[in-house]
Amino acid sequence: MLEFINFYLVPGLVLGCIYTLGAIGVSLLFGILRFAHFAHGDMMTLGAYLALLVIGLTGWPAIAAIPAAMLGTAVVALVIDRVSYRPFRSSPTIIIVIASFGIALMVRSAIQFTWGLEIESYRTGIHRPMVFFDSLRISGNHIQIVLTTIVLVGAVHYLLSRTKIGKAMRAMSDDPDLARITGIATERVITWTWIIGAGLAAAAGVFVGMDTQVNTFMGWNLLLPVFAAAILGGIGRPYGAIAGGMVIGIAEELSTYPWIGTAPLLSPGYKTGVAFGIMVILLIWRPSGLFRGRVF
């Protein structure tokens, strides 16, 4: 039982946090700009590397580097939106999807050019996990990740439900044409959507680095589970993305638990396929997601 919690449930929760933060951004961007942002995974990578830079310069712990990584990634996202996505605001959305596909590779190659292709890690040495009740072992990093996620999700909730710009984001997600007629400053809403989406992606990227290590392909590998989480939650519904992220994260980890006999239920090599499996089942059974997102 304790082994189950220590090695499967807690890592699943941590992975769920990472997916959640990515999926909220994908979901918000989809709701407001109406396109699947294929460069979102590489925004996560960028955040992770910006944190690496800050840690290298200051020697701070990774968690302290998160605000700087979020800010830097948000600025990059805004520049990309201005240069690459904004010219296509009135084009068929699929053109922006193609553009974002290209942006994903450009961001990745820029990171590879700057930092090289080596695997990096935030700290060296072995960290002793904290031990509760003699045998419940949880690493400090994991506690930090979960707590920071709760704070960030709380902040997003406050923004969406209490602030004018947050409500305008929901309004635009409901009906962009009506938002324009109403006089909502749609470009300002889009700007804030990028700041929040990219910021959360960066935080998720740093979490990956805290949990394991940082490499230039991490974003690509995260993209699929993040999309799966966003679809599961009902795309365009940031609150659903939280549930979607948690379900996918935990399901991925639990899929390798020896539920039957002693062998893992699923070979760990296929762990990343779990998200996709869930997504396919969902696309067949209920494409609007568990919480009734947009129907296509």
From residue 150, how far is each of 70, 82, 160, 291 by CA, in Å? 16, 31, 15, 21
Containing H/E element for 136?
Answer: strand 136-138
Shortest distance, position 245 Cβ to another protein, whole Å: 16
Task: Tell me which residues touch another protein (CB under 8 A).
Answer: 30, 35-36, 38, 83-84, 87-88, 93-95, 97-99, 101-103, 105-106, 108-110, 112-113, 116-117, 164, 167-168, 170-171, 173-175, 177-186, 220, 223-224, 227-228, 231, 267, 269-270, 272-273, 276, 279-280, 283-284, 287, 296
Contact 205, 76 (CB under 8 A): no
Pick between residue 213 and residue 272 the one whose CB is nearest to another protein.
272
Pick between residue 206 and residue 222 the one whose CB is nearest to another protein.
222
Shortest distance, position 76 Cβ to another protein, whole Å: 14
Shortest distance, position 112 Cβ to another protein, whole Å: 4
Distance CA 16, CA 10 (A): 10
Contact 18, 247 (CB under 8 A): no
What does residue 156 show for φ and ψ, rounded to 5 degrees? -65, -40
Pick between residue 128 and residue 162 the one whose CB is nearest to another protein.
162
Shortest distance, position 2 Cβ to another protein, whole Å: 30
Shortest distance, position 93 Cβ to another protein, whole Å: 7
Distance CA 93, CA 74 (A): 22
Shortest distance, position 133 Cβ to another protein, whole Å: 37
Pick between residue 112 and residue 191 the one whose CB is nearest to another protein.
112
Residue count of the chain, please give it: 296
Pick between residue 138 and residue 165 the one whose CB is nearest to another protein.
165
Shortest distance, position 275 Cβ to another protein, whole Å: 8
Return the residue matching tokens 């200051």.
Answer: 58
- Cα 260 versus chain centre, distance: 32
Pick between residue 101 and residue 259 the one whose CB is nearest to another protein.
101
Contact 146, 11 (CB under 8 A): no
**DSSP reduced 3-state for 109:** helix
- How far separated are the first and last CA of the chain, in Å rounded? 42
**DSSP reduced 3-state for 260:** coil
Return the residue matching tokens 């984001």.
Answer: 169
Pick between residue 59 and residue 92 the one whose CB is nearest to another protein.
92
